[in-house]
Structure 1
Amino acid sequence: MDQDLERRHFLRLGSAGAALAGAAVLASTALKPEQAYAQAAATSQLRTILDRGKLIVGTGSTNAPWHFENDKGELVGMDITMGKLLAKGLFDDETKVEFVDEAPDQRIPNITTGKVDIVIQFMTISAARAQLINFSRPYYVEGIALLTRPDATNKDFDSLLKGGKDTKVSVLQNVDAEGTVHQVLPEAQVLQVDTQANVVQALDSKRVDAAAVDLSTVRWMVARTPDRYADSGKAWQNQLYGAGVKQGDLDWLTFVNTCFDVAMHGNNSAIYDQAFKEYFGVDLPARATGFPSI
């Protein structure tokens, strides 16, 4: 084929031909993960982390099932899993991560001052916080749920609702506590108590029929002790949990979102699914192939 004929053939292929040719070039020149950081901006935290050789994550250590120490003294939980997923994406090694134990009120300051690369600490995404930091895509949808006892006659939501004024619910004391419970149980008696532990203790002592706590708490307690606790099947008032990073760094934020997307919806979902099962007792459905689910 002479040059003119070859050129006319290529032009007939149009943009499809160009795309195929481009794909072939990219396939033959794929970058290794350790080389890819050069594509990030010189000031990006992504490049800084790769040069450093480890990821630094701000988190907690006392709130199961999100971040807590197991019987071996190891830091575990759903937040910890998300941090290890990022380290795996960065270095192909989930151990290359340092977790910084921080109080909840230090989450945003530690991001803005650069003490940590990212905070993964069951942080609720809000418009007010988004003025100070950037949030990743959500990795969990939290909510309020009703914890009950498996030995109770009114352990499911329908029974609690039918109980009307006889139904008693404990909840952590706050200005919205009574209204929050009455959103779903409008006639229930509301017992406000001072700590989350006492909210559950009121259920244990049978002073109430249900305890209004986080959905993740219900799932965790039911998964660990199904003979002691039950899930009423009712959850409401959705809140999104996301990781927090410093503003003004699109490369780093995009990388975090990419890792979370792949872990939650792509071909690397086994680790996320296993953690979801371990900490929440829930088997996630198989990902639908052929149509976006993110």
Structure 2
Amino acid sequence: MRINRSIRVGIGVMALAVVASACGGGEEKSASQSASEGKLTVGIKYDQPGLGLRNPDGSFSGFDVEVAEYVAGKLGVAPENIEFKESPSAQRETLIQNGEVDYIVATYSITDARKEKVDFAGPYFIAGQSLLVKSDNTDITGPDSLNGGKKLCSVTGSTPAQKVKDTYAQDVQLQEFDTYSACVEALRNGAVDAVTTDDIILAGYAAQYPGELKVVGEPFTEERYGIGLAKGDDETRAKINDAIDAMIADGSWERAFNETVGASGYPIPAPPTVDRY
């Protein structure tokens, strides 16, 4: 029996469609779809005391963790059904674009460059870049004192690292590590003179090493922390924005801050206004 050419072509197209579907060629799952199935994968930092920290017993704590869990709850997912995934600064966009996380809550500053690759809900917090030094250091008092070839550490792919490159690179030796905890260890052992990132992050490290480290100077940038998610996932972004507003309104935002960051002595700021772009 002869098969007509148009039928053969149709069968071939159908076969290709089946193969493409089997290889994951279909539409990516949104965070809302993941939530509707009862589970979420959320990116956080593992090494930031008071914000995103993996504890020795394998649990997680910090303000970002509290925000992540509150948002998940508003999306209908209980804390025990959240899988936390480490999200280093340089990998955050890739993790979102590859669908490895549903959203990221990891001191993730909202910038125009990042918004070309991912979307943001929030901000849920506003911080400012500052400097961490040893407690007995009297030479470094702010970014303008980073002269004479001072060694400064920050994290690869972070906003603070880029700020230093753009503004102070001509007179400072910038060293970039994968994590802030590595920078802090370099500071403690004298390999660098200072660490730079957002003041709220540095306050957590100063609290972790009382009497050994201190935050100096006034913040010299404004960092608006957002919750990163897949570009074009407008449905989930709107839901997360609603969750942030609810967290602020019902007192959970302030309570979470006091129970996590508050111990460092970092003063609680006014809650931010969500940007519904």
Q: Which band: TM-score by shorter chain?
A: 0.5 to 0.7
Q: Is the CA contact (8 Å cut-off) linking 2:48 and 2:201 kept in structure 1?
A: no
Residues 135-188 of structure 1, C-alpha deviations (whole Å, 9 max, x = no match): 111223343312233345x38838x97x897x8743138787476458xxx9xx
* Separation (CA, whole Å) in 2 of partners of 1:147 and 1:175: 17
What is the deviation of 1:78? 3.2
Which residue of the partner structure matches residue 171 of structure 1? 152
Q: Is the 8 A contact 1:44 1:249 kept in 2?
A: no
- Which of residues 46, 52, 58 in structure 2 aligns to 1:67? 52
The equivalent residue for 1:18 is none
Give distance in 2, aligned partners of 1:103 and 1:164.
26
Matches within 5 A, 1:26-105: 45=30, 48-91=33-76, 93-102=78-87, 104-105=89-90
CA distance in 2, matches of 1:206, 1:262: 44
TM-score norm. by structure 2 comes to 0.65
Aligned pair count reads 237
2:259 to 274, 285, 291: 274
- 1:202 and 1:103 mapped to 2: Cα distance? 18
Instruction: Pick 1 or 2: higher relative contact order, CA cutoff 8 A, min separation 6.
Output: 2
For residue 123 of structure 2, give the secondary structure of its aligned residue in structure 1. coil
8 A Cα contact 2:36 2:76, kept in partner: no
Structure 1 CA distance for aligned equivalents of residues 185 and 29 of structure 2 = 48
> Deviation at 1:122?
2.8
What is the aligned-residue RMSD (CA, Å)? 4.0
Gaps of 5+ in 2: 1-27, 155-160
Q: Name the aligned partner's letter for residue 96 of structure 1.
A: N
Q: Do structure 1's residue 222 and structure 2's residue 206 form an aligned pair?
A: yes
Give the gaps of 5 or more residues in structure 1: 1-42
Instruction: Give the structure with higher Rg (CA).
Output: 1
Matches for 1:1-294 after TM superposition, within 5 Å: 45=30, 48-91=33-76, 93-102=78-87, 104-152=89-137, 154=138, 157=141, 169-172=150-153, 177=164, 180-181=167-168, 190-193=172-175, 195=177, 200=184, 203-204=187-188, 211-214=194-197, 215-269=199-253, 270-278=255-263, 280-284=264-268
The CA deviation at 1:220 is: 1.0
Instruction: Provide the C-alpha distance between the structure 2 equivalents of 1:255 and 1:73, rounded to a whole number of angstroms.
Output: 29
Q: Which residue of 1 aligns with 2:4?
A: none
SS at match of 1:129: helix
Structure 1 position 58, deviation (Å):
2.8
Structure 1 CA distance, aligned partners of 2:165 and 2:100? 39
Q: What is the percent sequence identity of the aligned residues?
A: 21
Letter matched to residue 229 of structure 1: L
